[in-house]
Amino acid sequence: MASIIIRNLEEDVKGRLKLRAAGRGVSMEEEARDILRQAVGAADPRADLGAAIAARFASLGVTLPSLVRQ
């Protein structure tokens, strides 16, 4: 996992982030991560379930046939 440092963040922004996080019962860091994921359109790991299953079987040396029609 990568780390990021945000300098020169206004105190009122930090305060609102803290309140928002507390309202959801998460840390400020987790709240910031969620905001960033939403802002950049983070990929939903569930979106490509087929690829995840194929990768799991591939690690066992099993190749699954593609179900996508050409």
Asked whether residue 16 is domain-assigned, the answer is: yes
Asked whether residue 37 is domain-assigned, the answer is: yes
Asked whether residue 65 is domain-assigned, the answer is: no
Asked whether residue 35 is domain-assigned, the answer is: yes
Asked whether residue 68 is domain-assigned, the answer is: no
Q: What is the pTM of this model?
A: 0.57
- H-helix or E-strand containing 23? helix 11-24
**Pair of tokens at residue 6:** 């945000």
Q: Identify the pLDDT of residue 66.
A: 73
20: left (phi over 0), alpha (psi -120 to 50) or beta: alpha
Asked whether residue 40 is domain-assigned, the answer is: yes
**Pair of tokens at residue 1:** 């996992």
Q: Are 31 and 21 in contact (CB under 8 A)?
A: yes
How many structural domains is the chain composed of?
1
**Full residue range of the structural domain in which residue 50 is found:** 11-58
Q: Identify the pLDDT of residue 50.
A: 77
Asked whether residue 47 is domain-assigned, the answer is: yes
Asked whether residue 51 is domain-assigned, the answer is: yes
- Taking only the tens of pLDDT, the chain with its 70 residues reads 889 999 999 999 999 999 999 999 999 999 999 999 888 885 666 667 777 788 888 888 888 777 666 5
